[in-house]
């Protein structure tokens, strides 16, 4: 460990951890003024001057060059959003020089998307711009122009919940409200409180806590059904979304979607209602949990992610080790699991494969047949790539098979046991309805996920395979073995698309033999898979 | 036997410039089979690699056999032809031996050539079925650069 710290210090001294062009750092100033004379308030995000600062790393002080993304404007559209003006002209900078510093807003630098590049979260915009949403400026490794995302309430909830889970893995369980299960609703529940926003777990849990405290002999839970026999309209205390008392007023409680009730006696069954959380947040936490099952292979907090990045920089630059990832993927909507991986980890790899299965003009080239039937037999590489129906229940363990270099085009050669996987349905994002294979401890390229999604594209139906992972196979091995893990990851990055392309080929053959007119039980020669890989074109 | 193999490969279209290196590679054919240290080390990793668990008994079955010279010569020729028929082949033969009903074959390839497919496997597949194997990383002194070493075990189809 001492050696690693020394190497880290040497590395940081040489290159500077904050030297990347498109990264944010501490020291940004927010000003406000009128950019184009429309009377509205716009924002100027002023970068700190580049400088050398001492950084304390354990017991060593290291001079680090701090650099940053350049100044930029956020021009208010009057509807709550902003347009970014990057690389402003000297005249525009001069205009902003006289603007007022927005003391009420906070520029918070942190690696929000876990890609190893520091981003900038700007919060408190509403204190000066009534309807303005907060924004995140995502730093980019290859350009000084950041990517801006407006922090709508849903994205806010997602990050808050994922952060809550990262800080405490019991977060979802502890904060999920108790709900009466259908069929066991008591005959005479009594009203205690109602909540307008069913996903406001802070408020729900506050009322549940108050309910239990006030009625210690009763059970308290939530239900969407307003208690029968209780008056809908009544004078009640009103609280804001943070649970702060506002005042009393007459309200029709039957208009509220969720109610906190208490019940005395009877046999009541409650269950935790996880639907109040963002599905993406639950899925992200669940995948990370499974990937770490039996072997802590994935970082679960910012400190571990930073250590992984620094370690990889050292191994890459001083150890002369090739990173696992090769140019065989392309930009696309992220899968829910992607946020778990650290892209700057030296073993990180990402590959994509698209294969057309059939043309819509062909008989039986439909989603019910291709997606819901045929693909169910080709969700993972089974022994010799044989069609294998699986339950996709998140529990059953299957063995995935690979083959040797040179033999990737031959299904009968897929007899090398790569190791255990479990399977899940993708439950959120634009890829909902797809399937996901999650490698388990003991798999040669663990941890990793391979997702497959079937959709209509153009005049055909295609299967899209998206593989992503680190490689901490034999996770008990120390950092000295990272070179081997990176090497194995690279092999997987190259082999994965070939193996899944071949699996797609078998899937297409299966469809042709069973669903194309005249194809029943007919073994016919087929050409190579129609792989569409823009990254390689 | 080696001369016969070379003749067979020339007929299959090998160019003369790489003939010498091919002869070097073919020199391993028919010699007592052994796996590289990298394979042994990989399969000694704990927790055990799943493919190694299944590979070990298949290798033991092969090593327990005696040699049927006629069948073994024929199969060794076919395997070598599959591996070296393409004159641009990046694959490096390391050991090849067939016995009475089984063959064992070890070869290596760089990561960059990992994805290259060899034609002609179907012909081998008609005569023998692949029953086990392993692919192991072989790094040059921990640099992250190296080769992939694969061992295949076949059994005669009945």
Cα–Cα distance, A333 to A355 (Å, whole number): 18
Cα–Cα distance, A85 to A75 (Å, whole number): 7
| A203: three-class secondary structure by DSSP | helix
Q: Mean per-residue pLDDT for B24-50? A: 87
A487·B146 Cβ contact <8 A: yes
Going by pLDDT thresholds of 50, 70 and 90, the confidence category of residue A520 is: low
Is the model's pLDDT at B21 over the cut of 80?
A: no
pLDDT for position A321: 82
Q: Which residues of B touch A404 (CB under 8 A)?
A: 133, 135, 150, 152
Q: Which residues of A touch B144 (CB under 8 A)?
A: 315, 319-322, 483-484, 486-487
* pTM recorded for the entire structure: 0.68
Q: Are the beta carbons of A263 and A218 closer than 8 angstroms?
A: yes
Q: Which residues of A touch B142 (CB under 8 A)?
A: 319, 480, 483-484
A399 interfacial to chain B (CB closer than 8 Å): yes
Task: Calculate how close chain B gets to A328, using CA atoms only, in Å.
Answer: 12
B144·A418 Cβ contact <8 A: no
**Nearest residue to B104 via CA among B113, B120, B93:** B93
Cα–Cα distance, A252 to A126 (Å, whole number): 30
Q: Which of A8-22, A28-42, B73-87 has the lowest mean pLDDT?
A: A8-22
pLDDT for position A147: 87
Cα–Cα distance, A281 to A158 (Å, whole number): 5
Going by pLDDT thresholds of 50, 70 and 90, the confidence category of residue A281 is: confident
* Strand ranges inside B5-142, DSSP E: 92-98, 102-110, 128-139
pLDDT for position A505: 96
Q: Are the beta carbons of B1 and B9 closer than 8 angstroms?
A: no
| Interchain CB contacts (distance < 8 Å): A and B | 107
Going by pLDDT thresholds of 50, 70 and 90, the confidence category of residue B13 is: very low
Going by pLDDT thresholds of 50, 70 and 90, the confidence category of residue A65 is: low
pLDDT for position A66: 56
Half-sphere exposure of B3 (CA within 13 A, CB side): 0
In this complex, which of B50, B83, B133 lies closest to A419 when CB atoms are compared?
A: B50
Non-local CB neighbours of A130 within 8 Å, separated by 6+ positions: none
A483·B144 Cβ contact <8 A: yes
Is the model's pLDDT at B19 over the cut of 60?
A: no
Cα–Cα distance, A101 to A84 (Å, whole number): 18
B117·A408 Cβ contact <8 A: yes
Going by pLDDT thresholds of 50, 70 and 90, the confidence category of residue B131 is: very high
Q: Are the beta carbons of A341 and A114 closer than 8 angstroms?
A: yes
Tell me which of A484 and A11 has the higher pLDDT.
A484
Length of chain B: 158
Going by pLDDT thresholds of 50, 70 and 90, the confidence category of residue A45 is: very high
Q: Name the burial class of residue B110, with classes exposed (0-12), middle (13-18) and buried (19+) by CB atoms within 10 angstroms of its CB.
A: middle
Q: What is the DSSP string of A437-481?
A: EEE-BTBTT-SEEEEEEEEEETTEEEEEEEEEE---SSTTS-GGG
Q: Evaluate whether ipTM surpasses 0.90.
A: no
Cα–Cα distance, A521 to A283 (Å, whole number): 40
Q: What sign does the dihedral A265-A270-A275-A276 (CA atoms) show?
A: positive
Q: What tokens appear for B1 in the block?
A: 């036997």
In this complex, which of B51, B122, B131 lies closest to A417 when CB atoms are compared?
A: B51
Is the model's pLDDT at A527 over the cut of 50?
A: no
A415 interfacial to chain B (CB closer than 8 Å): yes
Is the model's pLDDT at B158 over the cut of 90?
A: no
* Tens of pLDDT, residues A472-490: 887 766 667 788 889 999 9
Going by pLDDT thresholds of 50, 70 and 90, the confidence category of residue B12 is: very low
């Amino acid at each position: 460990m001492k050696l690693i710290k020394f190497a880290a210090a040497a590395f940081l001294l040489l290159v500077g951890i904050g030297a990347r062009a498109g990264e944010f750092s501490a020291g940004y100033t927010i000003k406000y003024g009128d950019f184009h004379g429309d009377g509205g308030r716009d924002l100027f995000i002023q970068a700190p001057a580049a400088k050398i600062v001492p950084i304390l790393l354990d017991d060593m002080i290291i001079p680090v060059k701090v650099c940053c993304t350049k100044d930029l404007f956020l021009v208010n559209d009057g509807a709550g959003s902003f347009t970014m003006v990057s690389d402003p002209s000297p005249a525009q900078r001069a205009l902003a020089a006289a603007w007022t510093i927005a003391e009420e807003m906070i520029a918070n630098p942190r690696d929000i998307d876990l890609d190893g590049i520091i981003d900038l979260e700007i919060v408190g915009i509403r204190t000066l711009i009534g309807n303005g949403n907060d924004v995140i400026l995502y730093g980019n490794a290859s350009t000084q122009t950041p990517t801006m995302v407006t922090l709508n309430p849903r994205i806010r909830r997602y990050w808050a919940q994922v952060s809550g889970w990262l800080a405490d893995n019991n977060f979802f369980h502890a904060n999920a409200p108790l709900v009466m299960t259908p069929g066991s609703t008591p005959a005479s529940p009594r009203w205690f409180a109602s909540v307008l926003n069913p996903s406001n777990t802070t408020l729900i849990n506050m009322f549940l806590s108050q309910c239990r405290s006030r009625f210690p002999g009763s059970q308290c839970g939530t239900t969407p059904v307003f208690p029968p026999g209780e008056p809908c309209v009544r004078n009640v205390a009103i609280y804001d979304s943070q649970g702060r008392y506002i005042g009393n007023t007459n309200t029709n409680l039957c208009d509220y979607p969720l109610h906190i009730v208490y019940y005395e006696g009877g046999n009541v069954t409650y269950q935790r209602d996880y639907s109040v959380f963002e599905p993406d947040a639950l899925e992200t936490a669940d995948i990370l949990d499974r990937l770490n099952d039996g072997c802590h292979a994935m970082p679960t907090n910012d400190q571990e992610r930073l250590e992984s990045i620094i370690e990889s920089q050292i191994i890459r630059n001083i150890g002369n080790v090739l990173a696992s990832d090769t140019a065989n993927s392309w930009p696309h909507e992220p899968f829910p699991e992607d946020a778990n991986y650290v892209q700057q980890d030296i073993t990180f790899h990402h590959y994509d494969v698209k294969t057309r299965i059939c043309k819509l003009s062909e008989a039986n080239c439909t989603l019910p047949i291709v997606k819901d039937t045929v693909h169910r037999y080709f969700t993972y590489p089974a022994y010799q790539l044989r069609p294998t129906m699986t339950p996709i229940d998140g529990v059953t363990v299957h063995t995935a098979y690979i083959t040797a270099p040179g033999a990737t085009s031959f299904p009968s050669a897929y007899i090398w046991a790569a190791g255990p996987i479990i399977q899940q349905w993708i439950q959120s994002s634009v890829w909902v309805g797809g399937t996901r294979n999650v490698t388990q401890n003991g798999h040669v390229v663990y941890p990793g996920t391979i997702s497959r999604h079937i959709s209509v594209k153009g005049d055909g139906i295609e299967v899209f395979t998206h593989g992503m992972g680190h490689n901490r196979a034999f996770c008990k091995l120390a950092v000295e073995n990272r070179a081997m893990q990176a090497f194995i990851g690279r092999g997987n990055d190259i082999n994965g698309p070939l193996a899944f392309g071949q699996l797609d080929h078998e899937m297409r053959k299966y469809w042709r033999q069973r669903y194309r007119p005249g194809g029943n039980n007919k073994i016919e020669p087929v050409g190579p898979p129609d792989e569409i890989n823009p990254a390689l074109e | 036997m080696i001369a016969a193999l070379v003749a067979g490969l020339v007929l299959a279209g090998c160019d003369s410039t790489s003939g010498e290196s091919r002869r070097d590679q073919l020199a391993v054919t028919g010699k007592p089979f052994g796996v590289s240290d990298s394979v042994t080390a990989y399969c000694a990793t704990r927790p055990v690699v799943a493919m190694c668990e299944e590979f070990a008994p298949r290798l033991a079955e092969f090593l327990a056999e005696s040699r049927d010279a006629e069948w073994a010569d024929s199969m060794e020729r076919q395997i070598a032809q599959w591996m070296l028929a393409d004159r641009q082949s990046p694959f490096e033969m390391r050991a090849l031996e067939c016995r009475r009903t089984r063959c064992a074959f070890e070869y290596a390839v760089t990561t960059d050539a990992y994805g290259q497919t060899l034609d002609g496997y179907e012909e081998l597949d008609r005569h023998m079925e692949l029953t086990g194997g392993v692919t192991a990383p072989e790094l040059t002194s921990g640099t992250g650069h190296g080769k992939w070493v694969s061992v295949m075990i076949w059994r005669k189809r009945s």
